[in-house]
Structures are given as structure tokens and as C-alpha cells.
Amino acid sequence: MIDSTSTAATGGVSGTAGPTVNVGIVGVGNCASSLVQGVRFYADAGTGEDTAPAGLTHPVLAGYAVSDIRFTSAFDVDTAKTGLDLSEAIWAEPNNSRAFAEVPHLGVPVTEGALSDGVGRSSSERVAARGAATLDDIVRRLRESGTHVLVNFLPVGSQAASELYAEAALRAGCAFLNCIPSTVARSPRWAAAFADAGLPLAGDDLKSQFGATLLHRALVDVLARNGVRLRSTYQLLAGGNMDFLNMQDPERMATKKATKTQGVYGGSGERAPAHVGADFVPFLGDRKVAFIRIDGEGFGGTPLEIDLRMEVDDSPSAAGNVLDAVRCLKAALDRGIGGVVDPVAAAVMKAPPVALDEAEVAAGLRALSDG
Ligand SMILES: NC(=O)c1ccc[n+]([C@@H]2O[C@H](COP(=O)([O-])OP(=O)(O)OC[C@H]3O[C@@H](n4cnc5c(N)ncnc54)[C@H](O)[C@@H]3O)[C@@H](O)[C@H]2O)c1
């Protein structure tokens, strides 16, 4: 989450008639559905931090209100979604995230994307995929639609497809937000390409606004601060959405394990053995159950055990941080900041290239807001 004290100085709210944050979406799945609904749900939230409705961390961030966010382009390869208006595609199966807002017709067609490695073995039976668009087609669509920030919500494990859309963002002059565990912001090559182009980049693998990674990390930190030595830990997850189905492919899950483990330990040196697992349980739908266990050693070498269960809606919690990140990346774009925007990546990503502490994140975001 982005600390609100870091963003109090917002340099003037743009308001609906002023500059906008034009967002393109790659992958109109559950997270996209929650994001699109969220912009609608909080559109009338006003600008007061004290009167913010539940779930909204920043009515105004980096000079932008939620109502300044517009959706301008969307790409998918599922024929159940392509050709539909974005407001309709978010309800198409196999999406199964909760409906919490009515979304009017947006005038944004979901365009056929480029398939690459986007659809994996486990999900191939549930997705009628057709993705024949070329890189040039995607670049053209991004340019024509005036997209500022391209958000990557591809299925876990889509490394080649993520790089293809990152390249399209570069060529079209867009910022890129990599919400999935593929290596983009952590890649020196991509970081340098965005820096050279003067375009902002943030990644990799979005943190939920309040999720298992945040809770697990907080526990590990507080134990370490109080002298408890971690011996081992696990995080076992269960859910019934497409993300969990995709995580049943071992090679796709490998990338998630890596970013999850980095999310729990951050940049800290010594790491106890950690296990991350994810099961697909269809009847859970978009509910996610997390079991976290920690074994530690306390005063006098005495054993300490923590077992914790948490249950949340998976996708809305992810969308909350995206609402913040797209506004920050647009502010970076406005200011000509290129390359990985470290405070944004450290605030909302499980595996940022550079780990910053809270004070460093706050200072970096304040600088972004102040211009
Ligand atoms: N809490 C969360 O839900 C959370 C948190 C952090 C990160 N993430 C990551 O966000 C990503 C999206 O999650 P989701 O739950 O929305 O997944 P999802 O499976 O519901 O949606 C993915 C969408 O991408 C589409 N797609 C596949 N290949 C494509 C291609 N080549 N081009 C365009 N579209 C393509 C699919 O058809 C589908 O509509 C996942 O990688 C997930 O790991 C999710």
C-alpha cells in the first residue's frame, strides 16, 4: 500500500475537466473486472482523505482523483470477451469475481491481442483463444486510443507475452505496470529500455492491498525486530478462480513462488526455508483462503509457533493497489521520469527491483507528487 502521508501534497486535483489517466488493460480477467468496477464504485468519492469510503486508500494521489481515470484500450485473446465492450467483457465467463458496481457502456471494445504464451495447459480447456494481432496492431491501437499507462494482467507465467506488450508500450509511448510475476521491471534490459525512452515502468507482481503477502511480511518483520529467529515458514493458498487454475502448471507456479518468497522476505539477508503452495478449489470461486505458519526460536532457544488463517476476495484486493499505481505512473509520465519508478514498485509490488524501506518510499512518492 502507498502511505497516505507521502501523498498529502498533491499539487492540485485535476478534476474531471482536467488531465486524465488513460489506462489500457492487457487481460480482461478477474483483476480487470475489479479495477473497472472500482473506478466506477469510487468515482464520486470526492477528494477528502478523512471522508474516504472503505477500501479506498487515496481519493487523490499524485494530483489525480479516481474520477480522472479513464479506460481507453483493452486486449484479450478469449473469443468470449473480444469484440465486446469492456463493460460487458468483465462479466464474461470464466471471470467469477464479485459484482460490486454497475458499469455503464464505456465505448472501449476489447481488441484481439497477441496470444504468445498467454494461455497455459491447465486453462486451455476453459479459454477459446484466438490472438493473431501483431505487435504493430497493438502499438497502433495504443496510439489511436491515447493510452497513457498499460496494465499487464496476463495469466501467471506469460513471460513472452508480457515482453511483447511491454515492447508495444515502449513503441507507443506508454508507461507499463507489470502486475504479474514475469520478469520485466527486474530485467536490466527492460529497465534500461524504458529509461532510454523516458517512459515509466513498475513491477513485478502486484501485492494485494491487504493480502497474504502483506500479513506474512508484517509477521516476519515484527518477529525479527523482537529477537525471534525464524526457523521455517509456509504460505498455503486455495482459491477457485483462473489464477489458481493457472498456478496448477508447475512451470507457471515457479514464477509465483519466486515473487511470493521475495514478497515475504523483502531485501533482508538471512532467509529461513519457506514454502509457498496454491491449490485450485473450484467452489471457492474468487474467495482466497491463506494458511500461514511460522516456526521460530525465542528467548532461551524456546520454540514459537504461529498458525493463521485468512480469507478474502482475491481480485478486488489486487485492484485497489492498481488504482494508486496508475495515477503515480501517469504523474511520472507527466514529469518525464523514465525507467523503473522505484518508490511505486516498492510500494505495490511483491518483487520490486530495489527494496526500499517505508521512509524511502514515502520520500520518493512525495517527490513524485510535488513534481
Ligand atoms: N489478487 C490477485 O488476484 C492478484 C494479485 C497479484 C497478481 N495477480 C496476477 O494478475 C494476473 C491476472 O489475474 P486475474 O485473476 O485477472 O487472471 P485471469 O486469468 O482472470 O485473467 C487473465 C486474462 O488474460 C487473458 N489473456 C491470456 N492470454 C492473453 C494474451 N496473450 N493477450 C491478452 N489477453 C490474454 C485471458 O483470456 C484472461 O481474460 C495474474 O498473473 C495474477 O497472478 C493477481
Integer-rounded Cα Rg, in Å, for the chain is 20
Q: Are residues 201 and 68 in the same domain?
A: yes
List the single range of 22-36, 148-162, 259-273 with lowest mean pLDDT.
259-273
CA of 60 to the centre of ligand 1 (A): 27
- Assign residue 327 the CATH number of its domain: 3.40.50.720
Q: Are residues 309 and 344 in the same domain?
A: no
CA of 151 to the centre of ligand 1 (A): 11
Q: Are residues 169 and 266 in the same domain?
A: no
Residue 180 CB-density burial (10 A; 0-12 exposed, 13-18 middle, 19+ buried): buried
Q: Where a domain ends, among 313, 328, 357?
A: 313
The answer to whether 345 and 206 have CB atoms below 8 angstroms apart is no
Ligand 1 neighbour 339 (Cβ under 6 A): no
Q: Is the dihedral of CA 345, 318, 32, 146 positive or negative?
A: negative
Give the per-residue pLDDT at 73. Answer: 98
CA of 361 to the centre of ligand 1 (A): 27
Ligand 1 neighbour 318 (Cβ under 6 A): yes
Taking only the tens place, the pLDDT of each residue in 71-101 is 999 999 999 999 999 999 999 999 999 999 9
Taking only the tens place, the pLDDT of each residue in 291-327 is 999 999 999 999 999 999 999 999 998 899 999 999 9
- Assign residue 237 the CATH number of its domain: 3.30.360.10
Average of per-residue pLDDT values in the chain = 92
Confidence band (pLDDT; 50, 70, 90) for 357?
confident
Q: Is the pLDDT of residue 368 over 90?
A: no
Q: Which residues pair with 235 in a beta bridge?
A: 276, 292
C-alpha cell at 280: 485450485
The answer to whether 136 and 262 have CB atoms below 8 angstroms apart is no
Q: Are residues 226 and 186 in the same domain?
A: no
Give the per-residue pLDDT at 369. Answer: 79
Confidence band (pLDDT; 50, 70, 90) for 267?
low
Q: Are residues 148 and 16 in the same domain?
A: yes
Q: Are residues 309 and 321 in the same domain?
A: no
The answer to whether 345 and 185 have CB atoms below 8 angstroms apart is yes
Ligand 1 neighbour 204 (Cβ under 6 A): no
Q: Which residues pair with 278 in a beta bridge?
A: 237
Give the per-residue pLDDT at 9. Answer: 31
Ligand 1 neighbour 212 (Cβ under 6 A): no
Taking only the tens place, the pLDDT of each residue in 194-231 is 999 999 999 999 999 898 999 999 999 999 999 999 99
The answer to whether 176 and 201 have CB atoms below 8 angstroms apart is yes
Determine the structural domain holding residue 159 and report its residue range: 4-207+316-370
Of the two residues 8 and 335, the one the predictor is more confident about is 335
Percent of the chain with pLDDT over 70: 94
Ligand 1 neighbour 317 (Cβ under 6 A): yes
Q: Are residues 90 and 238 in the same domain?
A: no
Q: Which atom of ligand 1 is nearest to the CA of 115?
A: 31
Q: What is the pTM of this model?
A: 0.93
Give the per-residue pLDDT at 8. Answer: 32
Q: Where a domain ends, among 293, 313, 333?
A: 313
Q: Where a domain ends, among 313, 328, 351?
A: 313
Q: Is the pLDDT of residue 10 over 60?
A: no
Q: Which atom of ligand 1 is nearest to the CA of 318?
A: 1
Taking only the tens place, the pLDDT of each residue in 162-206 is 999 999 999 999 999 999 999 999 999 999 999 999 999 999 999
Q: Is the dihedral of CA 181, 186, 190, 194 positive or negative?
A: positive
Q: Are residues 171 and 41 in the same domain?
A: yes
Q: Are residues 103 and 248 in the same domain?
A: no
